[in-house]
Copies of this chain bind each other. A is one copy, B any other.
Amino acid sequence: MNTSDNKETTRTEIHTIGEFGLIDKVVKPFSVVNKSTLKGIGDDAAVIDNEGFKTVVSTDMLIEGIHFDLMYHPLKHLGYKAVVVNLSDIYAMNAIPKQIFVSIGISNRFSVEAVEELYWGIKKACERYGVDLAGGDTTSSPRGLVLSITAVGQGLQEKLVYRNGAKVGDLICVSGDLGAAYLGLQLLEREKRLFLDNPEIQPDFGENNYLIGRQLKPEARVDIIDLFDKNNIVPTSMMDISDGLASEVFHLCKQSNVGAFIEEEGVPLLIDTELQAIQFGLDPITCALSGGEDYELLFTVKPEDIDKIKFLTDIFIIGEIVPAEDGVTLHTKGGNRHAITAQGWTHFSS
Q: Using Cβ atoms and an 8 Å threshold, which residues of chain B touch A137?
A: 59-61, 148
Q: Which of A117-125, A150-158, A167-175 makes up part of the contact surface? A: A150-158
Is A286 in the interface zone, CB < 8 Å from B? no
Q: Which of A138-146, A192-200, A210-218 makes up part of the contact surface? A: A138-146
Q: Which of A91-99, A268-276, A311-319, A322-330 makes up part of the contact surface? A: A91-99
Is A66 in the interface zone, CB < 8 Å from B? yes
Counting contact residues on chain A (CB < 8 A from B), the size range is 35 or more
Of the listed residues A43, A150, A152, A238, the one surrounded by the most CB atoms of chain B closer than 10 A to its CB is A43
Is A12 in the interface zone, CB < 8 Å from B? no
> Is there contact, CB below 8 Å, between A105 and B47?
no
Q: Which of A48-56, A225-233, A259-267, A333-341 makes up part of the contact surface? A: A48-56
Cα separation A325 to B43 with both chains bound (whole Å): 23
Per-position 1/0 for A34-60, Cβ under 8 A of B: 000011001111111110101111111
Cα separation A240 to B48 with both chains bound (whole Å): 20
Task: Give the Cβ gap from A66 to chain B, nearest Cβ, in Å.
Answer: 6
Residue of B nearest to A98 (CB): B55
> Is there contact, CB below 8 Å, between A55 and B101?
no
Is A239 in the interface zone, CB < 8 Å from B? yes
> Is there contact, CB below 8 Å, between B142 and A63?
yes
> Is there contact, CB below 8 Å, between A150 and B90?
no
- Identical copies in the complex: 2
Cα separation A270 to B163 with both chains bound (whole Å): 53
Task: Report if A61-B139 is in contact (Cβ < 8 Å); known contacts: A42-B255, A47-B56, A90-B45.
Answer: yes
> Is there contact, CB below 8 Å, between A155 and B63?
no
Q: Using Cβ atoms and an 8 Å threshold, which residues of chain B touch A48?
A: 54-57
Q: Using Cβ atoms and an 8 Å threshold, which residues of chain B touch A155?
A: 47
Task: Give the Cβ gap from A239 to chain B, nearest Cβ, in Å.
Answer: 6
A interface, CB within 8 angstroms of B: 38-39, 42-50, 52, 54-67, 88-90, 92-93, 95, 99, 101, 103-105, 134-137, 139-144, 146, 148, 150-153, 155, 157, 160, 162-164, 238-240, 255
